Amino acid sequence: MAFEFTPERLAQFHELLTHYPEEHARAAMLPTLHLAQEQNGYLSQDVQAYVAGLLGVSEAQVLDVVTFYPMFFDAPVGKHIVRVCKTLSCDLCGCREIIEHIKERLEVDFDETTEDGSVTLLSSECLAACDQAPVMMINDDLHGRLTLERVDELMDALE
């Protein structure tokens, strides 16, 4: 079945539209895509077509945006998204060891999903939390001052 927003999300979408001038509905693109990804997990062609219809733009214009921003997924991802920062302050504080450990433990490389579909591992650029380096995000939550033990605890808690 083709993708559609749930009634609550459709209402949220209509509220979003009021944030922008009427003739600039396209401005709601990023928030609408966030909303759609929240519901569907990733932005399939179906979803993109639906968003294009809602905003009155072409599917190509949606694809153009989806492929520009690293936080939008155009293919299925795992149940959990793990983003590990690899930029300078984290590197100075030992993120390479953390990254190696996570890769070994999950048996995946960056941009891959574990076989059971539980975790997609991504690298991230500076997460603006360098005072807590090394850091990573698991879904919406930031975790800092990582040690190998702490990483194991966090991974154990993931289903």
Q: Which residues bind ligand FES (CB under 6 A)?
A: 85, 87-90, 126-127, 129-130, 133, 135
Q: How near is the Cβ of 85 to ligand FES at its closest, in Å?
A: 3
Looking up tokens 């390479």, which residue turns up? Answer: 96
E strand map for 2-152: 80-85, 112-113, 119-124, 136-138, 141-143
Rounded Cα–Cα distance for residues 124 and 46 (Å): 28
Selection from 99, 91, 98, 85 nearest residue 129 by Cα: 85
DSSP type of residue 126:
-
Among 3, 12, 31, 138, binds another protein (CB under 8 A): 31
Rounded Cα–Cα distance for residues 29 and 93 (Å): 37
Q: Does 143 bind another protein (CB under 8 A)?
A: no
Q: Which is nearer to another protein, 30 or 152 (CB)?
A: 30
Among 10, 11, 60, 71, binds another protein (CB under 8 A): 71
Looking up tokens 């520009």, which residue turns up? Answer: 68
Centre a 10 Å sphere on the Cβ of residue 102 and count the other Cβ atoms it contains: 22
Q: Does 86 bind another protein (CB under 8 A)?
A: yes
E strand map for 1-118: 80-85, 112-113
148 binds, among ligand FES, another protein, none (CB under 5 to 8 A by kind): none
Q: How near is the Cβ of 99 to ligand FES at its closest, in Å?
A: 12
Contact letters for another protein, residues 94-123 (x by CB under 8 A): ------------------------------
Q: Does 77 bind another protein (CB under 8 A)?
A: no
Name the token pair of 26: 């396209």
Summarize as ranges the residues that interact with another protein (CB under 8 A): 19, 21, 24, 26-31, 33-34, 55, 57, 61, 64-65, 68-72, 83, 86-89, 91-93, 124-133, 137, 140-142
